Amino acid sequence: MSIKLTDVAKKAGVSPTTVSRVINNYGSLSQKTIDKVQAAMGELNYQPNSLARSLQGKNTQLVGLIFPTIAHPFFAELVEQLETKLFEHGYKTILCNSAQNKEKERSYLKMLAANKVDGIIAGAHNLGIKEYETIELPIISFDRYLAEGIPIVGSDNYQGGYLATETLYKNGGKRIGIIAGSNVSDSPTNERLNGYLAFLEEVGLTPTIFRFAPFENSLTLKNMKIKQILEKRDMDSLFCTDDLTATLVINNCRELGIDIPKQLKVIGYDGTQFMQSYFPDLTTIAQPIQDFTDLLVDLLIQRITQPDILLEDMYKLPVKVSNGKTV
């Protein structure tokens, strides 16, 4: 049997109106009354109805997070930090994974709107989601354009691509290839590719580009493609636009007897704590995940609490080279 507000009132020896005031933090009540009601709620395991609160104009203290996948260390770390930071501010989270599935993302958006969440942080890579243009919720985007008026937080991906290529070049790289993501979506890896191309043009080197779809290829297929690249390689350096791909390259090099960094220099991108702990030798471009977290949450709370506040269109955070032994 579900516990009702009237059950809490009876247990606490107060009126239902008093219980409602405690839940909604409304009106003048003594601390003794508040403690009695909260104790009764605890004993009965009573959970206030968030939807009912939202219909009364109260915040639900819920935030939706829409990201491609938490199987990827970068997104897993970012989502974990976002959840922790939001909880510190009194918000609980609803996590939605929507990699490579436009309809799934649409469905999640409708669900979040129906559940009256207070806001959304979105960082999936699907294109053509028109609902972002009309949904009446505070939204902050991570690393992609969603709609006019939705602020974007991300790293300077162009700078990161440029830095990665420059690092390989300064360490003797002359035939520098890149493994980038698919260009079918407005992915941040496209700007990393542009940074790579810009540096090579400056120093007069020819690009060698390989494209992988980051979230749809099976690990077996990805390994097969990497092995083919390495067996036919005419490169002395390889820039991988994410760290997981870089580790697959390194593992395949070991199997093929290719010495890193003597025969092939490798640099990755992301620099998560997971990678630093388990693959400390990898040279990579480190993204400021903690700074992303702080800024995304701060901006969203500003939008929730001050709906008319003017925010910038784009917030680009700098990246840096994290030196290992693969370059």
- Average predicted confidence (pLDDT) for the chain: 89
Are 72 and 139 in the same domain?
yes
Quick check: 120 pLDDT over 90?
Answer: yes
Q: What is the CATH classification number for the domain harbouring 42? A: 1.10.260.40
Note whether residue 53 is domain-resident.
no
pLDDT at 95 over 60: yes
**Residues 283, 177 share a domain:** yes
Residue 57 in domain: no
Asked if residue 325 belongs to a domain, the reply is no
Query: Which whole number is the average pLDDT over 302-306?
Result: 93
Which residue in this structure is represented by tokens 């542009």? 194
pLDDT, tens digit (0-9, with 9 covering 90-100), for 6-17: 888 899 999 888
- Tell me whether residue 207 is in a domain: yes
User: What is the band of 251 on the pLDDT scale with cuts at 50, 70, 90?
Assistant: very high
- Tell me: do 164 and 238 sit in the same domain: yes
Q: Does residue 54 lie in a domain region?
A: no
Please indicate, yes or no, whether residues 145 and 161 belong to a single structural domain of this protein.
no
**Residue 324 within a domain:** no
Same domain, 34 and 129: no
- Shared domain check, 194 and 174: yes
**Reported confidence tier of residue 51, pLDDT bands at 50, 70, 90:** very low
Same domain, 200 and 257: yes
What is the percent of the chain where pLDDT is above 90? Answer: 60
| Residue range 136-164: mean pLDDT, rounded | 93
Indicate if 202 and 307 belong to the same structural domain. Answer: no
- Structural domains counted in the chain: 3
Average confidence (pLDDT) over 28-46: 86
Expressed as residue numbers, the domain containing 277 is: 157-287
CA distance 103 to 79: 22
The dihedral built from the CA positions of residue 165, 168, 171 and 173, taken in this order, carries a sign that is negative
Confirm whether 197 is domain-assigned: yes
220 shares a domain with 107: no
Same domain, 100 and 136: yes
218 found inside a domain: yes
The CATH number assigned to the domain holding 313 equals: 3.40.50.2300
- Greatest mean pLDDT among 25-34, 40-49, 219-228 lies in 219-228
170 and 279 both lie in a single domain: yes
Q: What pLDDT does 215 receive? A: 59
- Buried (b) or exposed (e) across 105-124, using 16+ Cβ within 10 A? bbebbeebbeebbbbbbbbb
Confidence bin at 23 (pLDDT 50/70/90): confident
Within the chain, residue ranges assigned H as helices are: 5-12, 16-24, 31-44, 50-55, 73-88, 102-114, 131-134, 157-170, 189-203, 219-231, 243-256, 273-278, 289-305
In a shared domain, residues 161 and 260: yes
